[in-house]
Amino acid sequence: MSKSLRIVIVGGVAAGPKAAARARRCDPQAEITVLEKGSYISYAGCGLPYLIGGKVPDIKDLLATPVGVLRDSNFFQAVKGIRVLTGKEAIAIDRVQRIVKVRDVATSQEETYPYDRLVLATGAVPVRPSLPGLDLKKVFVLRHPGDGLQILASLEENKARRAVLVGAGAIGLEVAEALVERGLEVTVIEALEQVFPGWLDFEMGAMLEGHLISKGVRVRTGERVSHFLGNQEGRLEKVRTDKGEYPADLAILAIGVRPNVELARQAGLEIGPTGAIKVDPYLRTSDENIYAGGDCAEVYHRLLKRPVFVSSGQIANIHGRIIGTNITGGQVAYQGTVGTGVAKVFDYTVGCTGLTEAVARKEGYEVVTALAPSIDHAHYYPEAKFVGLKMVADQSSGRILGVQVVGPGDAAKRLDAAATAITLGATVFDLTQLNLGYSPPYSTAIDVLINAAWVLENKITGLAKTVTPMEVQELTARAEDFLLLDVRTPTELQEVRLKHPKVMAIPLGKLREKAKELPKDKYYIPFCKFSLRGYEAQKILEGLGFPQVKFMEGGWVHWPYGLETEPQKAG
Amino acid sequence: MSKSLRIVIVGGVAAGPKAAARARRCDPQAEITVLEKGSYISYAGCGLPYLIGGKVPDIKDLLATPVGVLRDSNFFQAVKGIRVLTGKEAIAIDRVQRIVKVRDVATSQEETYPYDRLVLATGAVPVRPSLPGLDLKKVFVLRHPGDGLQILASLEENKARRAVLVGAGAIGLEVAEALVERGLEVTVIEALEQVFPGWLDFEMGAMLEGHLISKGVRVRTGERVSHFLGNQEGRLEKVRTDKGEYPADLAILAIGVRPNVELARQAGLEIGPTGAIKVDPYLRTSDENIYAGGDCAEVYHRLLKRPVFVSSGQIANIHGRIIGTNITGGQVAYQGTVGTGVAKVFDYTVGCTGLTEAVARKEGYEVVTALAPSIDHAHYYPEAKFVGLKMVADQSSGRILGVQVVGPGDAAKRLDAAATAITLGATVFDLTQLNLGYSPPYSTAIDVLINAAWVLENKITGLAKTVTPMEVQELTARAEDFLLLDVRTPTELQEVRLKHPKVMAIPLGKLREKAKELPKDKYYIPFCKFSLRGYEAQKILEGLGFPQVKFMEGGWVHWPYGLETEPQKAG
For A65, the closest chain B residue by CA position comes to: B379
CATH number, domain of B89, equals 3.50.50.60
Angle at the Cα of A171 from the Cα atoms of A168 and A172, rounded to 5 degrees: 35
Question: What is the reported pLDDT for A1?
Answer: 47
- Which residue out of A72, A355, A420, A489 would a mutagenesis test of the B interface target, given it has the greatest number of B Cβ atoms within 10 Å? A420
Do B152 and B224 have their domain in common?
Answer: yes
- Residues of A within 8 A of B342 (CB-CB) are 437-439, 442-443
- Cβ burial of B409 (10 Å; 0-12, 13-18, 19+) is buried
- Which residues have a Cβ under 8 Å from the Cβ of B557 and sit 6 or more positions away? B207, B373, B386, B388, B407, B529, B530, B567, B570
How close is the nearest chain A Cα to the Cα of B535, in Å? 9
The pLDDT tens digits for B339-363 are 999 999 999 999 999 999 999 999 9
The pLDDT tens digits for B26-39 are 999 999 999 999 99
Binary contact (A416, B417; C-beta < 8 A): yes
Binary contact (A441, B344; C-beta < 8 A): yes
For A332, the closest chain B residue by CA position comes to: B429
Q: Would you place residue A2 in the very low, low, confident or very high pLDDT band (cuts 50, 70, 90)?
A: low
- Which residues have a Cβ under 8 Å from the Cβ of B555 and sit 6 or more positions away? B373, B527, B528, B529, B530, B531, B532, B534
- Residues of B within 8 A of A24 (CB-CB) are 539, 543
For chain A, the helix, strand and coil percentages under 3-state DSSP, each to the nearest 5:
30, 25, 45
> For B69, which of A55, A430, A489 is closest by C-beta distance?
A489
Sign of CA dihedral A468, A473, A478, A481: positive
- Residues of A within 8 A of B414 (CB-CB) are 416
> For A492, which of B50, B67, B384 is closest by C-beta distance?
B67
Do B33 and B15 have their domain in common?
Answer: yes
The pLDDT tens digits for A507-557 are 999 999 999 999 999 999 999 999 999 999 999 999 999 999 999 999 999
For residues B530 and B511, the answer to whether their CB atoms sit within 8 Å is no
* This prediction's pTM: 0.97
Distance CA A511, CA A505 (A): 10
**A569 within a domain of the structure (yes/no):** no
Query: How many pairs of residues across A and B have Cβ atoms under 8 Å apart?
Result: 292
CA dist A241 to A140, A275, B528, Å? 17, 28, 55
Do B346 and B455 have their domain in common?
Answer: yes
Question: What is the reported pLDDT for B565?
Answer: 79
How close is the nearest chain A Cα to the Cα of B545, in Å? 10
- Residues of A within 8 A of B337 (CB-CB) are 435
**A566 within a domain of the structure (yes/no):** no
Do B443 and B482 have their domain in common?
Answer: no
Last residue in a domain, options B268, B292, B326: B326
For residues A123 and A9, the answer to whether their CB atoms sit within 8 Å is no
Stretch A409-414: mean pLDDT, rounded? 98
CA dist B522 to A79, B483, B484, B516, Å? 21, 7, 11, 13
How close is the nearest chain A Cα to the Cα of B87, in Å? 23
Write down the ipTM of this complex: 0.97
Do A231 and A164 have their domain in common?
Answer: yes
CA dihedral B348, B353, B356, B361 (to 10 degrees): -170
Question: What is the reported pLDDT for A3?
Answer: 87
CATH number, domain of A551, equals 3.40.250.10
Distance CA B401, CA B360 (A): 7
Binary contact (B410, A413; C-beta < 8 A): yes
Binary contact (A445, B25; C-beta < 8 A): no
How far apart, in Å, do the first and last CA atoms of chain A sit? 63
Nearest of B273, B278, B272, B283 to residue B318 by alpha carbon: B283
- Which residue out of B312, B380, B399 would a mutagenesis test of the A interface target, given it has the greatest number of A Cβ atoms within 10 Å? B380
Question: What is the reported pLDDT for B570?
Answer: 45
- Residues of B within 8 A of A440 (CB-CB) are 44, 46-47, 50
Question: What is the reported pLDDT for B2?
Answer: 59
Binary contact (B340, A432; C-beta < 8 A): no
Sign of CA dihedral B430, B436, B438, B442: negative
Whether residue B46 lies in the annotated active site: yes
Do A246 and A274 have their domain in common?
Answer: no
pLDDT tens digits, chain B, 571 residues: what are they?
A: 458 999 999 999 999 999 999 999 999 999 999 999 999 999 999 999 999 999 999 999 999 999 999 999 999 999 999 999 999 999 999 999 999 999 999 999 999 999 999 999 999 999 999 999 999 999 999 999 999 999 999 998 868 999 999 999 999 999 999 999 999 999 999 999 999 999 999 999 999 999 999 999 999 999 999 999 999 999 999 999 999 999 999 999 999 999 999 999 999 999 999 999 999 999 999 999 999 999 999 999 999 999 999 999 999 999 999 999 999 999 999 999 999 999 999 999 999 999 999 999 999 999 999 999 999 999 999 999 999 999 999 999 999 999 999 999 999 999 999 999 999 999 999 999 999 999 999 999 999 999 999 999 999 999 999 999 999 999 999 999 999 999 999 999 999 999 999 999 999 999 999 999 999 999 999 999 999 999 999 999 999 999 999 999 999 999 999 999 755 544 4
The answer, yes or no, to whether residue A316 has pLDDT greater than 60, is: yes
Q: Which helix (H) or strand (E) holds B239?
A: strand B236-241
Partner residues linked to A349 by β-bridges: A344, A407
Sheet containing A6-10, strands listed edge to edge, beginning at the edge strand earlier in sequence: A83-86, A31-36, A6-10, A117-120, A290-292
**B563 within a domain of the structure (yes/no):** no
The letter for the amino acid at B329 is G
Last residue in a domain, options A294, A326, A358: A326
Binary contact (B424, A421; C-beta < 8 A): yes
- Which residue out of A175, A380, A454, A528 would a mutagenesis test of the B interface target, given it has the greatest number of B Cβ atoms within 10 Å? A380
How close is the nearest chain A Cα to the Cα of B127, in Å? 21
Do B103 and B185 have their domain in common?
Answer: no
**B493 within a domain of the structure (yes/no):** yes
For residues A237 and A124, the answer to whether their CB atoms sit within 8 Å is no
Question: What is the reported pLDDT for A129?
Answer: 92
What is Dmax (Cα atoms) for chain B? 92
Q: Catalytic residue among B26, B46, B296, B352, which?
A: B46
> For B47, which of A380, A417, A447 is closest by C-beta distance?
A380
**A332 within a domain of the structure (yes/no):** no
Query: Taking each helix axis from N to C terminus, what angle separates B202-214 and B170-181, rounded to the nearest 10 degrees?
Result: 10
How close is the nearest chain B Cα to the Cα of A241, in Å? 31
Do A379 and A411 have their domain in common?
Answer: yes
**DSSP string across A149-182:** HHHHHHHHHHT--EEEEE--SHHHHHHHHHHHHT
> For A69, which of B81, B423, B489 is closest by C-beta distance?
B489
Do A244 and A262 have their domain in common?
Answer: no
How close is the nearest chain A Cα to the Cα of B405, in Å? 11
> For B433, which of A14, A335, A380 is closest by C-beta distance?
A335
Q: Would you place residue A567 in the very low, low, confident or very high pLDDT band (cuts 50, 70, 90)?
A: low
**DSSP string across B273-309:** TTSSBP--TT-B-SSTTEEE-GGGB-EEETTTTEEE-
Binary contact (B25, A539; C-beta < 8 A): yes
- 3-state DSSP call for residue A246? strand
CA dist B433 to A90, B173, B426, Å? 30, 35, 11
- Residues of B within 8 A of A547 (CB-CB) are none
For A25, the closest chain B residue by CA position comes to: B539
**A1 within a domain of the structure (yes/no):** no
Last residue in a domain, options B225, B240, B255: B255
For residues A388 and A460, the answer to whether their CB atoms sit within 8 Å is no
Binary contact (A426, B424; C-beta < 8 A): yes
**Number of domains forming the structure of chain A:** 4
Dihedrals φ, ψ of B183, to 5°?
90, 10
The DSSP call for residue A5 is: P
CB atoms within 10 A of CB B431: 29
Do A119 and A266 have their domain in common?
Answer: yes
> For B435, which of A340, A417, A540 is closest by C-beta distance?
A340
Distance CA B415, CA B341 (A): 9
Angle at the Cα of B120 from the Cα atoms of B118 and B123, rounded to 5 degrees: 165
Question: What is the reported pLDDT for A406?
Answer: 98
**A567 within a domain of the structure (yes/no):** no
Do B160 and B262 have their domain in common?
Answer: no
- Residues of B within 8 A of A312 (CB-CB) are 438
- Which residue out of B387, B433, B450 would a mutagenesis test of the A interface target, given it has the greatest number of A Cβ atoms within 10 Å? B433
Q: Secondary structure of B482-500 in the HEC alphabet?
A: CEEEECCCHHHHHHCCECC
For residues B273 and B267, the answer to whether their CB atoms sit within 8 Å is no
Beta strands B348-354 and B341-345: pairing type? Answer: antiparallel
Question: What is the reported pLDDT for B157?
Answer: 82
What is the span of the domain harbouring residue B279? Answer: 6-123+258-326
**B423 within a domain of the structure (yes/no):** yes
For residues A238 and A229, the answer to whether their CB atoms sit within 8 Å is yes
Nearest of B428, B306, B354 to residue B199 by alpha carbon: B354
The answer, yes or no, to whether residue A571 has pLDDT greater than 80, is: no
Binary contact (B342, A56; C-beta < 8 A): no
Do A388 and A482 have their domain in common?
Answer: no
What is Dmax (Cα atoms) for chain A? 92
- Residues of B within 8 A of A415 (CB-CB) are 436-437
How close is the nearest chain B Cα to the Cα of A444, in Å? 8
The pLDDT tens digits for A321-373 are 999 999 999 999 999 999 999 999 999 999 999 999 999 999 999 999 999 99
How close is the nearest chain A Cα to the Cα of B91, in Å? 29
- Number of alpha carbons in the 13 Å side-chain half-sphere of residue B306: 7
List strand residue ranges (DSSP E) for B29-123, in order. Answer: 31-36, 83-86, 88-94, 99-104, 110-114, 117-120
Q: Would you place residue A157 in the very low, low, confident or very high pLDDT band (cuts 50, 70, 90)?
A: confident
The pLDDT tens digits for B67-78 are 999 999 999 999
The DSSP call for residue A467 is: E
